[in-house]
Amino acid sequence: MDGPLLLALARAKHRAGCDVVEAVLVGRGFLALAWVPDRRQAFPNHGWNWVFLLSPQPELWLLHDKDEAFGLLKARTQKDLSRRWAQELKGARLEAVAGDARERWLGLSFSRRTLAGRLEQSCLSFQGIPGRSGLRLDGADVLTAVRLGLGQLFPAQPGPPQGDSPALLRWRETWGERLEEALQGLIPDVLPGEGSLLDRHHAWSLLRAQRLLLEPQREGLERQLRTEHTRLERYGEALAKDAARHAAALPLRERAVRVSAELYRLKGLAGLVTFADGSTLTLPEGMKAEEAVQRWFSAVKRAERGLARVTELEAERSRQLAELEARSLQAVEDGSGSPLGTARKDGHAASPSKPKTKAAGKKMDKDTKRQDGKGKAFRSVMVDAFEVLIGKGDADNDTLTFKVANPCDFWLHVASVPGSLVIIRNPDKLSEVPREVMERAAQLAAFFSKARDGGKVEVHTCRVADISKPRGFAPGKVLLKTYKSLRVYPKE
């Protein structure tokens, strides 16, 4: 996407309203901002999203929740990344759009009022250079120490432009004196189509999504279906060979029955044997009659078991083949990747079969549950954009410390008094958290302890990495390698 078009589309959306971020979705190669509808503005409809695409090409899309392409992106969302970005952007208001038509760079200034009444300023920067695309979120003041990145690293501000870019020169030639209006997003004709620039941006985004996301998705689905069909066909050929090999051993039963019927006469004989009716039979080389009978009957039994197993496998193969044909037919009818569980035609994500992911999710759910199975092992609160986790009991404290918390998180517990421990999440691996955050977490640790009704309480704090639990220690009891202390009053 050219720099002039990127700047014009962002300005047009900002002018239309809906400037408060309602939700944030982040996945590998994209970030989507959902906007709270503002009925007083010219863009009131609910469900619109800005999508900053980093790969396969850096572009800015305008998609609706019901669009198939957005459903595909939603299915690729990474919850941990989305939660981290949402902590900084959810509820923020877009105040200004900055950019240079000569550069593929966009800067979005946000402000957000915290629970304490402080106004936080942040800037979301987007660099749309192919091969070097990226997103970064920075705090715009000293109190807002935010730094999140996605994609390639790049400076918070664009470098000095080296003259007009070829894209800007084309825009100058096309719009002439109306260039500034075009850059402000006031001329819809910067994009082909009908209606306002936002309508055209949406239609253009759908076309680009069709080319960059949906068509490769469908081609990948067709390729996977063809590969699976070829595998099943080859599997059928192998089963047919096995069936023929087993069937070839069945005539040995007749030989074994004839020899066993006259074994009282033929026992101990080898080579050519003669039956009572004058007919002859050549035994396998080196085998006596009784050995040949035993081997032939064993071979027949193995062949019968093999044929029964081949019949079962062939039935299963036929079922898989019929299911594959049904999936192929469904893919042709709806033109989507839904048979593989990526996205349905209505834009909502379907559930693919991923046993490893489900197993990991079940393990995570098990780790975060209480020992008695009643709810989670902790409660969660937000303190100035930091997530604070509070345990609910001795066994739950161990779960929170050794199964939920990360080594770089901060650990707090009242000194020498039973109570709930408190964890301050530290995903950015800061050397220390703000003093007010640490004191608030210590107040919570004191409140959820047996020292709640006392005066000032001493609270120990350290890193989770400095905590160990030797074998045989009671639930909730740990050893601290090193710690610091602070005194606070209990406060919920």
CATH number at residue 12: 2.30.310.10
Q: For the residues 194-223, what does the mean pLDDT come to?
A: 87
When pLDDT is cut at 50, 70 and 90, the band that residue 244 belongs to is very high
Q: Quote the number of domains for the chain.
A: 3
Q: 185 and 265: one domain?
A: no
Give the least confident one: 286-295, 303-312, 368-377, 461-470. 368-377
Would residue 245 count as lying in a domain? yes
Q: For the residues 202-226, what does the mean pLDDT come to?
A: 86
More confident: 260 or 324: 260
Q: What is the pLDDT of residues 57-73, one digit of tens each?
A: 899 999 988 888 888 88
Q: 336 and 372: one domain?
A: no
Question: What CATH number does residue 317 fall under?
Answer: 1.10.287
Q: 219 and 171: one domain?
A: no
Q: What is the pLDDT of residues 115-163, one digit of tens each?
A: 777 788 888 889 888 888 888 888 866 555 557 888 888 777 776 767 7
Would residue 355 count as lying in a domain? no
pLDDT of residue 464: 92
Q: Is the pLDDT of residue 232 over 60?
A: yes
When pLDDT is cut at 50, 70 and 90, the band that residue 101 belongs to is confident
Q: For the residues 208-229, what does the mean pLDDT come to?
A: 86
Half-sphere exposure of 491 (CA within 13 A, CB side): 9
Q: Which of 175, 190, 205 is the last residue of a domain?
A: 190
When pLDDT is cut at 50, 70 and 90, the band that residue 332 belongs to is low
pLDDT of residue 20: 86
CB atoms within 10 A of CB 114: 14
When pLDDT is cut at 50, 70 and 90, the band that residue 476 belongs to is confident
Domain containing 481 equals 364-488
Tokens of 310: 């081949």
Pairwise CA distance, residues 436 & 241, whole Å: 75
Whose tokens are 């709810």? That residue is: 375
Would residue 198 count as lying in a domain? no
Q: Is the pLDDT of residue 29 over 90?
A: no
Q: 147 and 93: one domain?
A: yes
pLDDT of residue 55: 84
pLDDT of residue 463: 92
Q: Is the pLDDT of residue 309 over 80?
A: yes
pLDDT of residue 358: 41
Q: What is the pLDDT of residues 153-194, one digit of tens each?
A: 877 777 676 778 888 888 888 888 888 888 888 888 888 888
Q: 125 and 221: one domain?
A: no
Q: What is the pLDDT of residues 448-470, one digit of tens each?
A: 988 888 788 899 999 999 998 88
Burial grade of 117 (CB within 10 A; 0-12, 13-18, 19 or more):
exposed
pLDDT of residue 380: 84
Q: 140 and 269: one domain?
A: no
Q: 152 and 301: one domain?
A: no
Q: Which of 340, 356, 381 is the last residue of a domain?
A: 340
Half-sphere exposure of 290 (CA within 13 A, CB side): 5
Bridge-based pairing of strands 386-391 and 280-282 is unpaired
CB atoms within 10 A of CB 322: 10
Q: 401 and 307: one domain?
A: no
Would residue 447 count as lying in a domain? yes
Q: 336 and 369: one domain?
A: no
pLDDT of residue 345: 35
